[in-house]
Structure 1
Amino acid sequence: MPPLAELHRQQETLIFPHFTTQDAFELGSHLRTEALLAHPRTPVAIRISLPTGQILFTTVTCSPAVPDSESWLNRKAATVLRYGCSTLYLGEKMRSKGLKGDRISEMAPVDDAQYACHGGGFPVRIRGIEGVVAVIVVSGLAQEEDHKIVVEGIEWFLEHVQKK
């Protein structure tokens, strides 16, 4: 598990200069490719959506699609939008305070059926704009691996695509 300071650094530095529907498609496609390369037989669900709920990109990497994936995608996205941070960061922050860090209801009066603090949800922020403009969610693997795919995908995207 990455240390809390590293998770915080990721959120502070992985900022987009812009984020368009084309950006969402290119990033989502890259995430799908990387998930398939790393886990070719595991169905991994990937979604990029706006705070309004509009989906810009969604896929499951292979069959069989897991019905629970939809719930995990929605719960992780809701958490990112409510708390403005990655889901792994939130879980680790809870654990650093002595909580189990597996249910948000440990720290706030929320319905755990609506929120999840398991890794894989990450905010999209644009330089110069306040707040979360989109949410990237990966689900289907161990929470650290879900998070890693998102972070490495964003790093790749910022380095190779948006610098063109």
Structure 2
Amino acid sequence: MSDSPPLQELRQQEEELVFASFDHRDAWRLGSLIANHAIAEGFGVAVDIRRHNIVLFRCVLPGATSDQEEWIRRKSNSVLRFEHSTAFLSEQFSALGHNPLGGGWLNHDDYTLAGGSFPLRVRGAGVVGAITASGLASDEDHRLVVDGIRNYLKTVGA
């Protein structure tokens, strides 16, 4: 089966948006860049950057609800398990006609395929964490994160 155009675009994003390195300072700068953009746009979102269970950055903006905490946890769990964005996973499983959250494979309480979480991939090291936005529609959460990473990588010259 060949990739659909949306799946090809999502795969290309993951191949393109790779860091030369990623540390706590990068997490702060990237998270702040995305949070400042969300503030300027009036988005009521939460933004989270984590290395597995260690939160490196967290910002909850006015309009975000306590429910975003659960969405962030479940989205980032999916990224850290499969090492792909939740948007990619959603598109891939949909193309296969398979729902991993049904039938007991993945626990719905711990995972979701809603867009908005993206792997933090370091060249030569692989996936070292996840960045997640929650509070908008899935595709808008995804776009917020991808645009933020892209803009950040332009500023650091990666």
Same-fold call, TM cutoff 0.5:
yes
- Aligned mates of 2:103, 2:84 — CA distance in 1: 15
Native 8 Å contact 2:101 2:112 kept in 1: no
Structure 1 partner of 2:132: 137
- After TM superposition, the runs of 4+ consecutive aligned structure 1 residues lying more than 2 A away are none
In structure 2, which of residues 129, 144, 149 is the aligned counterpart of residue 149 of structure 1? 144
Deviation at 1:115, TM superposition (A): 0.2
Deviation at 1:33, TM superposition (A): 1.2
Deviation at 1:67, TM superposition (A): 1.4
Matches within 5 A, 1:34-49: 34-38=37-41, 40=42, 42-49=43-50
State the SS of the aligned residue for 1:89.
helix
- Aligned mates of 1:148, 1:25 — CA distance in 2: 19
Deviation at 1:107, TM superposition (A): 7.4
Could you tell me the percent identity over the aligned residues? 38
- Aligned mates of 1:137, 1:104 — CA distance in 2: 20
Native 8 Å contact 1:49 1:134 kept in 2: yes
Native 8 Å contact 1:125 1:134 kept in 2: yes
State the SS of the aligned residue for 1:105.
coil
- Aligned mates of 1:50, 1:23 — CA distance in 2: 12
Deviations 1:6-50 (A, max 9, x none): 001111111000111111001000111111223x1x420100011
- Aligned mates of 1:47, 1:127 — CA distance in 2: 22
Give the 3 Å change call, closer, same or farther, for CA 107–9 of structure 1 in structure 2: farther
- Aligned mates of 1:30, 1:109 — CA distance in 2: 36
Native 8 Å contact 1:104 1:115 kept in 2: no
Deviations 1:122-157 (A, max 9, x none): 000111113x10110000000000000000000001
Q: How many residues align structurally?
A: 154
State the SS of the aligned residue for 2:18.
coil
Higher strand share: 2
Q: Where does the alignment leave 5 or more consecutive residues of structure 2 unmatched?
A: none
User: What residue identity is the alignment partner of 1:72?
Assistant: W
Q: Where does the alignment leave 5 or more consecutive residues of structure 1 unmatched?
A: none
